[in-house]
Amino acid sequence: MTESIEGHGGQLALAALKPFGVKELFTLSGGHVFPIYDAAHHGDVRIVDVRHEQSAVFAAEAVAKLQRRPGLAVLTAGPGVTNGVSAITSAHFNGAPVIVLGGRAPQFRWGAGSLQEIDHVPIMASVTKKAATVTATDDVAGALRDAAITALSPHRGPVFLDLPLDVIFSTGSGAVPAGTGITPIEPDPADVAKAAALLAAAARPVIIAGSDVYAGDAVAALREAAETLRIPVIANGMGRGSLPPEHPLCFARARRAALRGADVIAVVGTPLDFRLGFGEFGEAQVVHIVDAPGQRATHITPAVSPAGDLRLILSSLANYTGTRANHDDWVAELRVVEDAGRAAEAKELSAGTDPIKPSRIYGELRQVLDRDAVTIGDGGDFVSYAGKYLEPAMPGTWLDPGPYGCLGTGMGYAMGARITYPDRQICVLLGDGAAGFSLMDVESLARQKLPVVIVVGNNGIWGLEKHPMQAMYGYDVAAELQPGLRYDAVVEALGGAGETVEKAADLGGALRRAFDAGVPYLVNVLTDPTDAYPRSSNLA
Ligand SMILES: Cc1ncc(C[n+]2csc(CCOP(=O)(O)OP(=O)(O)O)c2C)c(N)n1
Ligand SMILES: [Mg+2]
């Protein structure tokens, strides 16, 4: 059934997004986009506004990632759009279905020098799946529908459209078909069969599950495939939590042993990038399972690379009927390493040192976080520890910045997570350096009654740069921040609350107060500046 609609450009735009489940937009005000606000105000789309456009796009990205539907950011013409560029790029790297609508100077006098007259499209083209200008009001609904379909079709990613002032303020008509019209990509059955045979026959197989497993709603199929073939699973990105930590096939501490010892490694739903040693796993054969042919690696040649709907591919693996090698010894071997790693961590997690070790913060957090809490990492070393010590128990509960590694996601991601889950714990793990990019958006969170907990690992330095620079040069520059700064006082001033913690024994109480506060609450933990996350690569 297709509905015919009439209205101004803003009304046509939002009507077209309704079948895709868009219920809110993130924005920072600008006259060029007023008609979209008018449509939202008189319709049922919630307007959530921010203090910097990057937070609007990060919030839309969090909604897109968590809910697997388009997240919408509306940015005013010129600087509004360009302020969103890094965040849109993050969505691009993360394969997140974000739609960014930009205002645009009027086209009827284009070239005459209107306020904020700049062609955004070439700026956006390389960091989106599609970037275009809608040049007629009658085209708005169709263009928005196409944008949503493009954003949601694997491999997912952001779409940018700008709407010239005269187009968006004029009235026109459009058609809104029901449903989303997205069809799964069928994988080549021969590729899937080869992948299944390789994994089943392997003596020491491993599955690495990445973000697209969650994005493609393929978590159940992954679990089924792992369980029927009895293959250990290691997760990264939003793949984390696909198997709960207590699952016999879920491994984290044994990652290195698993990748060193494996003879077949199936990497599912994540690129073979720097996070996975560029897919160079020694003698092991690599099966790269991707959600679209364009995601296949070009820098190495895997044994086979099935491309298509991840649910279909993983379900086929689960239904494999050929002969299977017994992997029990391999699973048991890794379990020993996993348990030993876990035992070794206990000391770190309970470290009673003064100043506080970041690991102790995670030890305390593990005791107060609910299983469905959403945790968000924005920072350097402090967030590397989060990746190591926090164990997401459910899929879709961990948000990291992804391979673009852009600092500043914190408050935007927190906003998107809070909008998605009004009743869950939302907790940002924030470096003190990272705090500078988005902390002002605590004002937006407080004003719009969006409580979140922010835990700052306050070491007074850009730790992930200072320590490597010291190691490389024997000195460091541009790596200092003011020590002991009261980020909690900043949050109080912005309408939230918080406290500074200097003693490990005070952490637990502070965290409990934070989750009970009902307002944005920042726990400012003064941590040991000499502590450096142990890493093999020095460049971040
Ligand atoms: C937008 C952006 N600017 C710069 C960097 C480079 N960078 C990566 S980690 C890091 C240090 C982060 O410091 P902080 O947030 O205090 O965390 P810490 O390492 O001290 O725990 C920097 C500057 C980046 N990733 N993104
Ligand atoms: Mg720091």
Q: What pLDDT digit, counting tens, does each position of 441-500 carry? A: 999 999 999 999 999 999 999 999 999 999 999 999 999 999 999 999 999 999 999 999
422 CA distance to ligand 2 centroid (A)?
Answer: 30
Q: How far apart are CA 47 and CA 263, in angstroms?
A: 51
To the nearest whole number, what is the mean pLDDT of the chain? 97
Which residues sit with their C-beta closer than 6 Å to ligand 1?
Answer: 379-382, 405-408, 431-434, 457, 459, 461-465, 540
Sheet of strand 130-133: strand arrangement: 46-49, 24-28, 71-75, 98-104, 159-164, 130-133
**pLDDT tens across 187-202, in order?**
999 999 999 999 999 9
Give the residue from 348, 355, 380 showing the smallest Cα distance to 527: 355
Q: Is a pLDDT exceeding 60 seen at residue 537?
A: no
Q: How far apart are CA 297 and CA 278, in angstroms?
A: 9
Residue 181 has a pLDDT of 84
Which atom of ligand 1 is found nearest the CA of 382?
21
Strand partners, 174: 5
Which atom of ligand 1 is found nearest the CA of 401?
25
Q: How far apart are CA 244 and CA 129, in angstroms?
A: 33
Helix axis angle for 310-318 and 189-201, nearest 10°, is 50
Residue 353 has a pLDDT of 94
Ion ligand 2 contact residues with beta carbon within 5 A: 431-433, 459, 463
Residue 113: partners with Cβ closer than 8 Å, 6 or more residues away: none
Nearest CA to ligand 1 atom 3: 407
Which atom of ligand 1 is found nearest the CA of 481?
16
Q: How far apart are CA 155 and CA 307, in angstroms?
A: 10
pTM equals 0.98
54: Cα separation from own chain's centroid = 14
pLDDT band at 536 (very low <50, low <70, confident <90, very high): low
Which atom of ligand 1 is found nearest the CA of 383?
21
**Which of 382, 464, 538 gets mutated to test ligand 1 (max ligand atoms within 8 A of its CB)?**
464
Average the pLDDT over 95-101 and give the result. Answer: 98
Residue 1 has a pLDDT of 85
Pull the structure tokens for residue 498.
Answer: 């918080």
